């Protein structure tokens, strides 16, 4: 696990996030008094922050529910518009008197120009980054106006697409989209569509906006990690990142000791090593308790506490073993020195409109994951870096997280500014997430390398030999050099793999090597029995579609549209072979359905049969196979997909089969 590299202090001290339970610097949410309008319309309407423009249009009855009927197509105009959001807020005497006043934007989607009192303070260009702006000299005592102009990603990147010397694959965007900009846009790829979701290219303030004030010193991050552990003692390290505006001698108070330190203006890093005797370990679900400790850090000057933060941590080690062995190439995880078979699923965002995803929905979904005896989720690379609350729940419930970086099924432009943006994105999310004991692995991307080598992109896009060399070198630069260098600098205690899968299912020998996405069943139109013949070392993706229950469909479609022949159903089915393949497999194992309702039910029973065959085979094939993550756990809208839990949280028939298979 390369623990010696923890001596690289600057990188590690800023590298750990986690939920801060207590703080003394002041954070004032700026979520009230917002209004919005399109740039082409002077009419402003109330807006809910955090949120997205589609939700604000819906709440003001300017559009109909996006998920109903064929509204996906009727609302395509929204992605072409530019939008303005603005609010006023008051700064009182006490707040204004603080030494440091900053605006923190935790998520702007995506191309945003921010003005405070008509002064431009920020140009944002990445949905996945947060932004902090010192506004002490721009803010006023009394009323202030904050205005954010969002430019359409289509408008912003159309020229870049057209002027690029060659087309770039955007695997999520369907053929009828004339200008595919998702490769150029650091934004959730599934917003541009996928084979299980519609296209809604959102815009807006999707995560909180805060006014942050502090004096002399602010604790930016604390992170406690395990250096080594045995039954008698755990050797731990707490890394503290401080922002200081006044040089001086301060006291750093931890649970274990108090230190007197000299801090200088700017960024300061403190390291604290300590032992825990008779440690209580953090274990994945099914292997023991996911025990969490607390670490409290206070900063004091002249006996006055300036900041106070408490964070949780777990005592555990996680190591990916991906190396040659007697079979081929291993791929498995050791947790606390013990090889553990990973049982789980691929997780996608719970909604295209993140403003709809409440803490209660996270609670319900992670409870279902634990109930199904899973111990790992893969946060897939075409969605979002999830909310802090998601990772907190995984920490508490012993659910390890395979964390993709947000790159999937596409190629990306070869220019330095784009790569610099990527580097900042990766760094920021490592800083936010790597302190969570649930994080088991960083993964560079989803399916890009296997696509380049096996999907025929070179012929499809008519790349010359020179173009192909340049494209592949750019891929390697991003995923073999840039991202792993950031991981190595800021998170050496968590392993990295460049891509998933590392082996392609088209060659039988490849099932002896590393990670595998097996899509012979479905895309290869193979029978379920082939699940029992094609077993990889770690099965990261595989699955079969089904429909959600009829009542789920009735929430978004009239009864008259509930048939396979209905144009509305055809629009909702995003897979190019979906309905026909489901029907074929139903008829192989059951009688031909007599109506749509029976088709829906039998689709679920068919999916359940396929997943049961796959799971039982994978579990029985240990140690050749040491992990199985089926595609997919959940849905982001009501429609047919590979999920075992639908958009409304209803558990499909396959969920019970998963639960029973994983009970072992």
DSSP 593-655: PSSHHHHHHHHHHHHHHHHHHHHHHHHHTTTT--EEEES-S--SSSS-BS-SB-TTSPBPHHH
What dotted CATH number matches 318-661? 3.20.20.80
In this prediction, residue 256 carries a pLDDT of 85
- Please identify every stretch of the chain with a pLDDT value under 50, giving residue numbers as ranges: 1-15, 17-18, 20-21
Nearest to 315 by CA among 345, 279, 271: 279
Which ranges in the chain are annotated with CATH 3.20.20.80? 318-661
Tens of pLDDT, residues 89-145: 999 999 999 999 999 999 999 999 999 999 999 999 999 999 999 999 999 999 999
Tens of pLDDT, residues 536-552: 999 999 999 999 999 99
The 3-class SS string of 84-142 reads EEEEEEEECHHHHCCCEEEEEECCEECEEEEEECCEEEEEEECCCCCEEEECCCCCCCE
517: three-class secondary structure by DSSP = strand
Instruction: Check if the beta carbon of residue 97 is closer than 8 Å to that of residue 210.
Output: no
Render 325-336 in DSSP notation, one character per residue: -SSSB--EEEET
Distance CA 417, CA 420 (A): 5
Tokens 């390398």 found at: 449
Tokens 């040491």 found at: 626
Phi-psi region of 543 (alpha: psi -120 to 50; beta: other; left: phi over 0): left
In this prediction, residue 23 carries a pLDDT of 57
Render 408-472 in DSSP notation, one character per residue: BSB-----HHHHHHHHHHHHHHHHHHTT-TTEEEEE--BSHHHHHHHS-HHHHTT--HHHHHHHH
Which fold would CATH assign to domain 3-18+216-313? Immunoglobulin-like (2.60.40)
319: three-class secondary structure by DSSP = strand
Instruction: Check if the beta carbon of residue 207 is closer than 8 Å to that of residue 225.
Output: no
59: three-class secondary structure by DSSP = helix
Instruction: Check if the beta carbon of residue 276 is closer than 8 Å to that of residue 231.
Output: no
Which ranges in the chain are annotated with CATH 2.60.40.10? 3-18+216-313
Which ranges in the chain are annotated with CATH 2.60.120.260? 31-211
**Crossing angle between the packed helical segments 359-371 and 388-397, to the nearest 10 degrees:** 30
Q: What count of residues does the chain have?
A: 664
Strand partners, 233: 277
In this prediction, residue 176 carries a pLDDT of 80
In this prediction, residue 22 carries a pLDDT of 53
Phi-psi region of 85 (alpha: psi -120 to 50; beta: other; left: phi over 0): beta
Taking the mean position of all CA atoms in its chain, how far away is CA 455?
25
199: three-class secondary structure by DSSP = coil
Strand partners, 46: 35
Instruction: Check if the beta carbon of residue 80 is closer than 8 Å to that of residue 154.
Output: yes
What does DSSP say about strands 342-347 and 376-379: parallel, antiparallel, or unpaired?
parallel
Instruction: Check if the beta carbon of residue 268 is closer than 8 Å to that of residue 244.
Output: yes
Q: CB neighbours of 100 closer than 8 A, spacing ≥ 6? A: 134, 136, 212, 213, 214, 215, 218, 245
Tokens 């990306």 found at: 412
What does DSSP say about strands 233-244 and 266-277: parallel, antiparallel, or unpaired?
antiparallel
Q: What is the pTM of this model?
A: 0.95
Render 263-318 in DSSP notation, one character per residue: E-SEEEEEEEEEEEESPPPB--TTSS-B--EEEEEEEEETTEEEEEEEEEE----E
| Structure tokens given for 283 | 């274990």
**Crossing angle between the packed helical segments 483-490 and 416-433, to the nearest 10 degrees:** 30
Residue 304 CB burial class (10 angstroms; 0-12, 13-18, ≥19):
exposed
φ, ψ (nearest 5 deg) of residue 135 = -120, 20
Distance CA 573, CA 648 (A): 18
| Structure tokens given for 273 | 């090593």
What does DSSP say about strands 515-517 and 503-504: parallel, antiparallel, or unpaired?
parallel
What does DSSP say about strands 248-254 and 233-244: parallel, antiparallel, or unpaired?
unpaired
Integer CA distances (angstroms), 8 to 266, 373, 617, in order: 19, 38, 44
Instruction: Check if the beta carbon of residue 13 is closer than 8 Å to that of residue 219.
Output: no
Instruction: Check if the beta carbon of residue 241 is closer than 8 Å to that of residue 267.
Output: yes
Strand partners, 123: 113
What dotted CATH number matches 31-211? 2.60.120.260
Distance CA 595, CA 562 (A): 10
In this prediction, residue 6 carries a pLDDT of 34
Instruction: Check if the beta carbon of residue 58 is closer than 8 Å to that of residue 355.
Output: no
Half-sphere exposure of 40 (CA within 13 A, CB side): 7
Distance CA 251, CA 259 (A): 6
């Amino acid at each position: 696990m390369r623990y010696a590299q923890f001596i690289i202090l600057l990188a590690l001290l800023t590298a750990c996030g986690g939920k801060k339970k207590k703080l003394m610097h002041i954070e004032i949410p700026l979520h009230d008094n917002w209004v919005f309008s399109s740039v082409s319309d002077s009419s402003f309407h109330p807006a809910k922050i955090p949120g997205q423009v589609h939700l604000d249009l819906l709440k003001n009855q300017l559009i109909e529910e996006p998920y109903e009927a064929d509204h996906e197509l009727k609302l395509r105009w929204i992605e072409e518009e530019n939008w303005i959001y603005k609010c006023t807020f008051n700064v009182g005497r006490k707040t204004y008197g603080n030494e440091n006043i900053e605006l923190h934007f935790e998520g702007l989607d995506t191309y945003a120009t921010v003005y405070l009192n008509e002064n431009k303070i920020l140009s944002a260009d990445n949905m996945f980054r947060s932004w902090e702006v010192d506004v002490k000299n721009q803010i006023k005592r009394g009323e202030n106006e904050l205005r954010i102009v969002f430019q359409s990603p289509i408008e912003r990147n159309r020229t870049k697409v057209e002027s690029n010397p060659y087309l770039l694959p955007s695997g999520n965007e369907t053929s009828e989209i004339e200008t595919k900009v998702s490769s150029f846009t650091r934004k959730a790829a599934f917003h541009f569509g996928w084979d299980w979701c519609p296209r809604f290219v959102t815009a807006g303030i999707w995560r909180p906006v805060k006014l942050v004030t502090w004096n002399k010193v602010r604790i930016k991050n604390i992170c406690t990690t395990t250096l080594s552990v045995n039954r008698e003692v755990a050797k731990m390290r707490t890394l503290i990142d401080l922002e200081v505006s006044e040089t001086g001698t301060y006291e750093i108070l931890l649970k274990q000791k108090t230190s007197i330190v000299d801090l200088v203006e700017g960024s300061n890093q403190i390291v604290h090593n300590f032992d825990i005797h008779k440690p209580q370990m953090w274990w994945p679900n099914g292997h023991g308790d996911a025990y969490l400790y607390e670490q409290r850090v206070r900063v004091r000057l002249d006996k006055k506490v300036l900041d106070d933060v408490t964070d949780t941590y777990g005592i555990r080690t996680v190591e990916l073993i991906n190396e040659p062995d007697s079979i081929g190439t291993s791929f498995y995880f050791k947790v606390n020195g013990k090889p553990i078979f990973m049982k789980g699923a691929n997780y996608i965002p719970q909604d295209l409109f993140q403003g709809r995803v409440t803490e209660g929905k996270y609670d319900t979904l992670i409870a279902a994951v634990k109930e199904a005896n899973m111990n790992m989720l893969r946060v897939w690379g075409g969605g979002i870096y999830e909310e802090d609350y998601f990772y907190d729940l995984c920490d508490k419930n012993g659910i390890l997280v395979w964390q993709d970086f947000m790159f999937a099924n596409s190629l990306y432009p070869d220019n330095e500014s784009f790569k610099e943006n990527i580097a900042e994105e990766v760094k920021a999310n490592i800083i936010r997430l790597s302190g969570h004991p649930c994080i088991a692995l960083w993964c560079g991307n989803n399916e890009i390398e296997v696509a380049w080598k096996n999907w025929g992109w070179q012929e499809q896009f008519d790349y010359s030999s020179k173009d192909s060399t340049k494209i592949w070198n750019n891929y390697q630069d991003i995923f073999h050099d840039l991202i792993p260098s950031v991981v190595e600098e800021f998170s050496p205690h968590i392993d990295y793999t460049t891509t998933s899968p590392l082996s392609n299912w088209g060659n039988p020998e490849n099932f002896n090597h590393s990670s595998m996405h097996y899509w012979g069943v479905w895309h290869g139109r193979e029978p379920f029995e082939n699940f029992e013949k094609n077993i990889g070392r770690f099965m990261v993706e595989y699955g079969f579609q089904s429909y959600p229950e009829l009542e789920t469909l009735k929430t978004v479609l009239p009864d008259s549209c509930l048939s396979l022949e209905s144009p509305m159903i055809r629009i909702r089915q995003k897979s190019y072979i979906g309905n026909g393949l489901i029907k074929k497999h139903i008829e192989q194992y059951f009688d031909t359905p007599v109506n749509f309702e029976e088709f829906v039910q039998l689709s679920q029973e068919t999916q359940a049969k396929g997943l049961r065959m796959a799971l039982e085979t994978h579990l029985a094939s240990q140690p050749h196979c040491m992990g199985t993550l089926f595609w997919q756990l959940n849905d982001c809208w009501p429609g047919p997909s590979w999920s075992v839990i639908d958009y409304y949280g209803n558990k499909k028939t396959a969920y019970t089969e998963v639960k029973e298979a994983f009970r072992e």
